[in-house]
Amino acid sequence: MDGVYINKVSEHEGSEVKIYGWVYNKTHKGKLYFLMVRDGTGMIQSVVFKGDVDEETFENAEKVTQESSVIVYGKIKEEKRAPGGYELQVTKLDIIQVAEEYPISPKEHGDSFLMDHRHLWLRSTRQHAILRVRHEIIRASREFFDNRDFVLVDTPIFTPSACEGTTTLFETDYFGRKAYLTQSGQLYAEAGAMAFGKVYTCSPAFRAEKSKTRRHLIEFWLIEPEVAFYDLEDNMKLAEEHIAYVVQSVLENRKNELEILERDTKILENSTPPYPRIHYDEAVKMLQDMGMDFAWGSDFGAPDETALTEKYDKPFFITHFPAEIKAFYMKRDKDRPECALACDMLAPEGYGEIIGGSQREDDLNELLSRIAEHKLPQEAFEWFLDLRRYGTVPHSGYGLGIERLLAWICKLPHVRETLPFPRMLHRLTP
């Protein structure tokens, strides 16, 4: 293959090139065919003029249908009016396959039809834009941690115990023993932090959550840093710098995609640290002042989060949640033992929680009491308790939900478009 990729055609202006791709759409005007050819890196208008090509090529132009696979040959010409700024003056068109009638046409389709055809829907411009922003979020996150000497620690998917409570575990048979799909790599990341000081994971997480909302997936991806000797404030500083770095990278490197998505970028440009830190007490008061029926001790539901996010024009933290509603591993506030040293980051514009984090309980006896209070099987956590037996130190970390951040950055109405093949309550296919 000696073809040229469409995103590089500007380097070949005036020359003859060969492009491998698919026909995105086609229009016809007398002796002219305009084929939009896509190759995954971009799209180029390819003009077939009867007077310039042999008979076979003109017939092929007539034959090709939407999504037919082709090889086009021709000269690259600058053309300001063409999408992408260049045009291919076709000299030859070879067909690899004439595609059958393509189910996704430019007309409007319902969500469920599109989701059933997700394997084909991925070829559309909007899905390209979203998934390229997703790639950038992961790339920039890894660059952020790599630049700070964090070590990537890969954590297991099969686990013997729960990290985030037992209600949302997926159980599976592990050669006659029970195993669970991981809800979070955190406990293993903590072991990593005691070994390497600063670590992060990037892994799928699985939760059997029977929530059918615009922000819940059954399988989603977490980026989880964990740092030895960090307290809650250090953790929040890391989180806000991380998010600001990712948002800035998307603004710089995925400008085109944000334009395709018609994203107003003002709020993204405004997302520079510091982010406000709101104590849970204060958040409760804010909700009550807004006239919402919310009592201290409850967890925020989607409407509560939405109401809070409308008060801010950048991401913000809510801290010191009631310990009762949070996971067993969170350290308590020594002056307010009913509160956990937790920090959730919420995205503005109604998006809500994108990060959950905390300072961890580093005292062996406290942790043993928490495990008992949460009715968790101590045997399964013996290895984790070893981290408190052998050189325990204060430490903190958080988990960023990639799909939640992506949904906000692109201002998507639903997380269904944030993964190539999302797994949701009622969707296991394609």
Q: How far apart are CA 200 and CA 222, in angstroms?
A: 10
Q: How far apart are CA 373 and CA 371, in angstroms?
A: 6
Burial of 302 per CB tally in 10 Å (0-12, 13-18, 19+): middle
Per-residue exposure over 246-277, b if at least 16 CB sit within 10 Å of its own CB, e if not: bbebbbeebeebbebbebebebbeebeeebeb
In whole angstroms, how close is the CB of 77 to ligand 4AD at the nearest point? 46
Choice between 50 and 374, CB closer to Mg ion = 374
Q: Give the interface segment with ligand 4AD, choosing from 101-109, 120-128, 218-226, 421-429 (CB under 6 A).
A: 218-226
Q: Hey, what are 396's tokens?
A: 């903190």
Count of CA atoms in the C-beta half-sphere (13 A) of 382: 2
Q: Give the interface segment with ligand 4AD, choosing from 95-103, 237-245, 273-281, 349-357 (CB under 6 A).
A: 349-357
Binding site partner of 74, from Mg ion, ligand 4AD, none, Cβ cut-off 5-8 A by kind: none
Under rule CB under 6 A, which residues in 404-423 are in contact with ligand 4AD?
A: 404
Under rule CB under 6 A, which residues in 353-392 are in contact with ligand 4AD?
A: 353-357
In whole angstroms, how close is the CB of 247 to Mg ion at the nearest point? 20
Choice between 70 and 163, CB closer to Mg ion = 163
Q: How far apart are CA 344 and CA 357, in angstroms?
A: 6
Burial of 176 per CB tally in 10 Å (0-12, 13-18, 19+): exposed
In whole angstroms, how close is the CB of 233 to ligand 4AD at the nearest point? 16
Under rule CB under 6 A, which residues in 184-203 are in contact with ligand 4AD?
A: 184, 186
Choice between 186 and 392, CB closer to ligand 4AD = 186
Choice between 192 and 356, CB closer to ligand 4AD = 356
| Residue where the block lists tokens 């045009």 | 87
In whole angstroms, how close is the CB of 355 to Mg ion at the nearest point? 8
Does 315 bind ligand 4AD (CB under 6 A)? Our answer is: no
Near Mg ion by CB under 5 A: residue from 21, 192, 322, 356: 356
x/- site string to ligand 4AD, residues 142 to 171, per CB under 6 A? ---------------------xx-------
Does residue 48 contact residue 58 with C-beta atoms inside 8 Å? Answer: yes
Does residue 19 contact residue 69 with C-beta atoms inside 8 Å? Answer: no
Per-residue exposure over 14-34, b if at least 16 CB sit within 10 Å of its own CB, e if not: eeebebbbbbbbbeeeeeebb
Q: Give the interface segment with ligand 4AD, choosing from 15-23, 50-58, 114-122, 350-358 (CB under 6 A).
A: 350-358
Binding site partner of 216, from Mg ion, ligand 4AD, none, Cβ cut-off 5-8 A by kind: ligand 4AD
Interface residues with ligand 4AD (CB under 6 A)?
163-164, 184, 186, 207, 209, 216-217, 220, 222, 224, 353-357, 397-399, 401, 403-404
Chain contacts with Mg ion (rule: CB under 5 A): 356
